[in-house]
Amino acid sequence: MSKSRNLLIATVAALVVAGSALAGSYGLGRPATEAEIAAWDLDIMPDGTGLPVGSGDVWTGEELFSEQCAACHGEFAEGVDNWPELAGGFGTLDREDPVKTVGSYWPYLSTTFDYVRRSMPFGNAQSLTDDETYAIVAYILYSNDLVDDDFVLSNETFLDVEMPNAEGFIVDDRMTTEERFFKGEPCMTDCKDAVEITMRARVLDVTPEDETAEAEVVQAAVTEEAAEQPAAAEAPSIDPALVAAGEKAFKKCSSCHQIGDGAKNRSGPHLNAVFGRVAGSIDGFKYSKGMVSAGEDGLVWSDETMAEFLSKPRSYIQRTKMSFAGFKKAEDIDAVIAYLKSAGG
């Protein structure tokens, strides 16, 4: 049993004893019942200790996630406003501003299960059944490309899931390795022979050093805008207003798909040169079985096939990996198609 678990039980036990004493002395409250104590004792260990019996599949989890979680975390676990992202972020932990998600950062699946079970959904914590918790966690794993779409998470399959950052944490040994910083008298005067400035803020558009620097920032913005004009003029047959509307609507897709210069596969394939391409044909991307089958059956992306797919993805291609419900307005679909053509073909 872990130290944290022992501490929790000891704390609850102390509260029970204290509560009993206060009840006897002051006539306040009552001792906690065994059921009330058990309600607090919910923690799940990395080795699966404490897991309830139950199971949940990816597609049930998708429906539950859409109902219970998407308002804050997005339909694809991409995050909404300042609410955290739960999917993506792979390869960013060595950056100055890493994207820490369940897939990229959390080392133990037990942390995800325990948190969802104990604290979610926001404002209605502990309202989920154990099976619903398993299903939602399964969908979060699927959103991070850690399991296939037919995966069923249960107390028996829990340890089969390998978290990418399982080896990314180290033991906090600062009390021994940095002991010298905590002992001895601190230096208060003349601690260095010389003090020099080694770095300055360079974000000129936020804090310009002078009027000249501020003017340079403005000029750079004007130059950048002017440089973009020829690119827009290269596609005169596409309505610029429609393309702009498509770029805005495409934000619903951008958490999974990239397009344009340097576009790469993310949780969804890049969309450069998508028109005329056979469905499920980008090398190296792990498509759903439904998408691969559609390509083998001869599906090629055109204005018509793309429009049908974007209206109801799950109906057009059974068991597609893309869980987006589809655009409800035909004008949004037309705009997205125009944007895809202008941005990446």
Mean pLDDT value of segment 50-69: 95
Q: Name the more confident of 204 and 155.
A: 155
What is the phi/psi pair of residue 153, to 5°?
-90, 135
Confidence bin at 249 (pLDDT 50/70/90)? confident
pLDDT digits (tens, 9 = 90+) for 165-184: 999 998 888 888 888 777 77
Chain center to CA of 306: 26
Confidence bin at 285 (pLDDT 50/70/90)? confident
CATH number of 240-344: 1.10.760.10
Chain center to CA of 61: 15
Q: Give the strand pairing for 152-154 and 55-57.
A: antiparallel
> Within a 10 A sphere around the Cβ of 340, how many other Cβ atoms?
26
Give 90-127 as a 3 state SS string. CCCCCCCCCCCCCCCCCCCHHHHHHHHHHHCCCCCCCC
126 pLDDT higher than 80: yes
Domains 43-160 and 240-344 share a fold: yes
Q: Name the more confident of 330 and 25.
A: 330
- State the DSSP code for 44: -
What was the pLDDT predicted at 292?
A: 86
DSSP reduced 3-state for 56:
strand
Q: For residue 227, give Cα distances in angstroms to 221, 224, 233.
A: 10, 5, 11
What was the pLDDT predicted at 167?
A: 92
DSSP reduced 3-state for 57:
strand
Q: Which residue has the tokens 């100055």?
A: 96
1 pLDDT higher than 50: no
Percentage with pLDDT > 70 across the chain: 80
Rounded CA separation 221/325 (Å): 38
Name the amino acid, one letter, at 87.
Answer: A
Give, for 153, the enclosing helix (H) or strand (E). strand 152-154
Rounded CA separation 116/68 (Å): 11
pLDDT digits (tens, 9 = 90+) for 102-123: 999 999 999 999 999 999 998 8
Rounded CA separation 105/162 (Å): 12
295 pLDDT higher than 80: yes
Q: Name the more confident of 4 and 342.
A: 342
Q: Which residue has the tokens 């104990």?
A: 118
pLDDT digits (tens, 9 = 90+) for 61-85: 999 999 999 989 998 899 888 889 9
What was the pLDDT predicted at 223?
A: 58
Would you kindly state where each structural domain of the chain is located, as residue ranges? 1-41, 43-160, 202-234, 240-344
- State the DSSP code for 152: E
253 pLDDT higher than 90: no
Mean pLDDT value of segment 14-28: 61
CATH architecture assignment, domain 43-160: Orthogonal Bundle (1.10)
Rounded CA separation 234/236 (Å): 6
Mean pLDDT value of segment 186-205: 73
Tell me the residue length of the chain. Answer: 345
Q: Which residue has the tokens 């990996």?
A: 321
pLDDT digits (tens, 9 = 90+) for 211-238: 555 555 555 555 555 555 554 444 446 7
Q: Which two tokens stand for residue 139?
A: 């969908």
* Residue 243 CB contacts under 8 Å (≥ 6 apart), including other chains: 235, 335, 338, 339, 342
Is 263 within 8 Å of 344 (Cβ atoms)?
yes
Mean pLDDT value of segment 177-203: 76
The closest of 102, 120, 121 to 111, measured between CA atoms, is: 102
